[in-house]
A = this chain, B = another copy of it.
Amino acid sequence: MSTDQLLRPDEIPWIPQADGVWFRPLRLSPGLGTWTNLLRVTRKGTINLHRHVAPVEAWVIAGQWRYLEHDWTASAGDYVYEPAGDVHTLVTVGDEEMITLFSMHGPIEYIGPDGQVTYVETAETKLKRYTDYCASRNDGAVPVIA
């Protein structure tokens, strides 16, 4: 049977995801459809409008950010719980980059200007982004937790 596993995040590269946005996978479980990653967003970065179709837990490690659709700002040391169904756009607040741990209980739908689903992010697409990036740099992908 599998046993406890320790992962040192600094051994995993930051994978570019969008302009000013990177993720660092910690656990990718394609068969369950769940994953945990660090997200890093610089001052200019934005996570476009998206809907969570499963709950999300977040722990802010550095910086500050908010959702354009809500009136609170999350700062280092705060905990955020997002039930399935919420739709929002993430932007940083202040000059510092933000780093946040996100535990995803399921996929994210990105939403286009007419409300249509433009992309669905899953544990499987995250895994592909990760291995593709490492391959593009002729690096082996450091195994993350499955």
Contact = CB atoms under 8 A, between A and B. Distances in A.
A9 B77 contact: yes
B8 A78 contact: yes
Q: How many copies does the complex hold?
A: 4
A53 B109 CA distance: 12
A33 B82 contact: no
B72 A6 contact: yes
Interface of A: 1-10, 26-27, 30-34, 36, 52-55, 57, 59, 67, 70, 72, 74, 77-86, 88, 101, 103, 105-107, 109, 117, 119-120, 122-124, 145
Please give me the 5 A-B residue pairs with the lowest Cβ-Cβ distance, nearest first: A33-B84, A33-B54, A31-B83, A106-B106, A26-B79
A84 B27 CA distance: 15
Given A4-B86, A82-B4, A10 B120 contact: no
Contacts of A84: 30-33, 122-124
Contacts of A88: 4
* Interface-central residue, A27, A77, A122, by most chain B CB under 10 Å: A122
30 contacts: A3-B70, A3-B83, A4-B88, A6-B72, A6-B78, A7-B78, A7-B80, A8-B77, A8-B78, A9-B79, A26-B81, A27-B79, A27-B81, A30-B83, A30-B84, A32-B83, A33-B54, A33-B55, A33-B84, A33-B85, A53-B53, A53-B107, A53-B120, A59-B59, A59-B101, A84-B124, A103-B103, A106-B106, A117-B117, A120-B120
